[in-house]
């Protein structure tokens, strides 16, 4: 295979990305999105393990491989209970997208090494929000979290079978812009993480004063995520009301998930009080 020459900005970008996701060495490739990066890993193992070696079980959120006679199991808290000798790959997100709860990565990495099952981690939710340290065979993310639409990246310990054959090049301007954004994040991620956690603590303490239940409060979480529930208020009603007021929040099965950013005030008491009043007697 003839390797294309990389530009200086691309070489600098990969060096910066190593620091961003906490890896050394290995192989990088740019993709059109985080979804493409994940698909790259999944199909590489489908063609190798599933088709050639009969390992056709995948533990991942998406189920599209079921159409190719594979067994797809959704991730669960006890991964050991669903891993079998036929497991080809475990693909997980770094944290729950609603609560921000981080998975116990030291335990998971040790289990994967023991079982000799490759591990892929999507770290998109954590990019730019906190320092990242995950031991995995593959790490990917969507660059939209870094202000770049239409790009993603994949790191792997070893070369990955390509999903798209032929020489791929990315606009040099986009590569340079992503490099600049990554460098800025590296300079600010620690202080931003502390400031976001401070804003969240203030928001959650205020919310608890009028009845909020903080889901996952005492567990390790992404600093910019807060998942709240209130008695007598359906999550759909509260999320809709607050979205109309300009809040960055989404409905979950148990409550409403908030994404906290710089300047977040989080004054939701009026909305909560109003919805509790109108729901009395229902």
Going residue by residue through the chain, which has 282 residues, state the pLDDT in tens, using 9 for 90 and above: 345 567 888 999 999 999 999 999 999 999 999 999 999 999 999 998 898 899 999 999 998 999 999 999 999 989 999 999 999 999 999 999 999 999 999 999 999 999 999 999 999 999 999 999 999 999 999 999 999 999 999 999 999 988 877 767 788 889 999 999 999 999 999 999 999 999 999 999 999 999 999 999 999 999 999 999 998 899 999 999 999 988 999 999 999 999 998 778 778 999 999 888 886 654
Q: Does domain 8-187 have CATH number 3.40.640.10?
A: yes
DSSP code, position 51: I
Alpha carbon distance 86, 55 (integer Å): 4
For residue 90, the model assigns a pLDDT of 97
For residue 6, the model assigns a pLDDT of 76
| Number of C-beta neighbours around residue 141 at 10 A | 30
Are the C-beta atoms of 179 and 143 separated by less than 8 Å? no
What is the CATH class of 189-278?
alpha beta
SS (H, E, C) the chain: CCCCCCCHHHHHHHHHHHHHHCCCCCEEEEECCHHHHHHHHHHHHHHHHHHHHCCCEEECCCCHHHHHCCEEECCCCCHHHCCCCCEEEEEEECECCCCCEECCHHHHHHHHHHHCCCEEEECHHHCCCCCCCCCCCEEEEEHHHHCCCCCEEEEECCCCCCCCCCCCCCCHHHHHHHHHHHHHHHHHHHHHHHHHHHHHHHHHHHHHCCCCEECCCCCCECCCEEEEECCCCCHHHHHHHHHHCCCCEEECCCCEEEECCCCCCCCCHHHHHHHHHHCCCC
Q: Are strands 225-229 and 152-156 parallel, antiparallel or unpaired?
A: unpaired
Cβ neighbours of residue 107 closer than 8 Å, sequence gap 6 or more: none
Beta bridge pairs of residue 31? 152
For residue 280, the model assigns a pLDDT of 63
For residue 217, the model assigns a pLDDT of 93
For residue 5, the model assigns a pLDDT of 67
Provide the residue ranges of all domains of the chain, joining segments of one domain with +: 8-187, 189-278
How many Å separate Cα 20 from the centre of its chain?
14
Cβ neighbours of residue 53 closer than 8 Å, sequence gap 6 or more: none
Residue 46 tokens, joined: 């489908």
Beta bridge pairs of residue 160? none
For residue 1, the model assigns a pLDDT of 39
Query: What are the strands of the beta sheet with 256-259, ordered from one edge?
Result: 213-214, 225-229, 256-259, 249-251
For residue 229, the model assigns a pLDDT of 95
């Amino acid at each position: 295979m003839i390797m294309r020459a990389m530009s200086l900005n691309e070489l600098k970008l990969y060096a910066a990305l190593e620091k961003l996701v906490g890896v050394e060495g290995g192989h990088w490739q740019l993709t059109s999105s985080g979804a493409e990066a994940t698909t790259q890993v999944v199909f590489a193992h489908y063609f190798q393990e599933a088709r050639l070696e009969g390992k056709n079980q995948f533990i991942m959120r998406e189920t599209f491989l079921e159409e190719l006679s594979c067994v797809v199991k959704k991730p669960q808290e006890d991964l050991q209970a669903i891993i079998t000798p036929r497991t080809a790959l475990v693909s997980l997100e770094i944290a729950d997208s609603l609560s921000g709860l981080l998975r116990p990565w030291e335990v998971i990495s040790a289990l994967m090494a023991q079982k000799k099952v490759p591990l892929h981690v999507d770290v998109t939710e954590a990019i730019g929000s906190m320092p990242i340290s995950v031991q995995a065979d593959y790490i990917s993310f969507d660059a939209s979290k870094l202000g770049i639409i239409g790009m993603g990246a994949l790191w792997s310990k070893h070369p990955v079978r390509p999903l798209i054959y032929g020489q791929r090049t990315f606009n040099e301007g986009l590569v340079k812009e992503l490099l600049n954004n990554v460098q800025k994040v590296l300079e600010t991620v620690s202080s931003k993480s502390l400031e976001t956690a401070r804003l969240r603590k203030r928001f959650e303490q205020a919310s608890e004063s009028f009845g909020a239940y903080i889901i996952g409060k005492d567990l390790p979480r992404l600093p910019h995520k807060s998942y709240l529930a209130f008695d007598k208020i359906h999550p759909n009603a509260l999320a809709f009301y607050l979205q109309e007021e300009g809040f960055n929040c989404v409905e979950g099965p148990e409550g409403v998930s908030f994404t906290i950013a710089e300047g977040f005030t989080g004054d939701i008491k009026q909305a909560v009080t109003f919805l509790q009043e109108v729901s009395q007697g229902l």
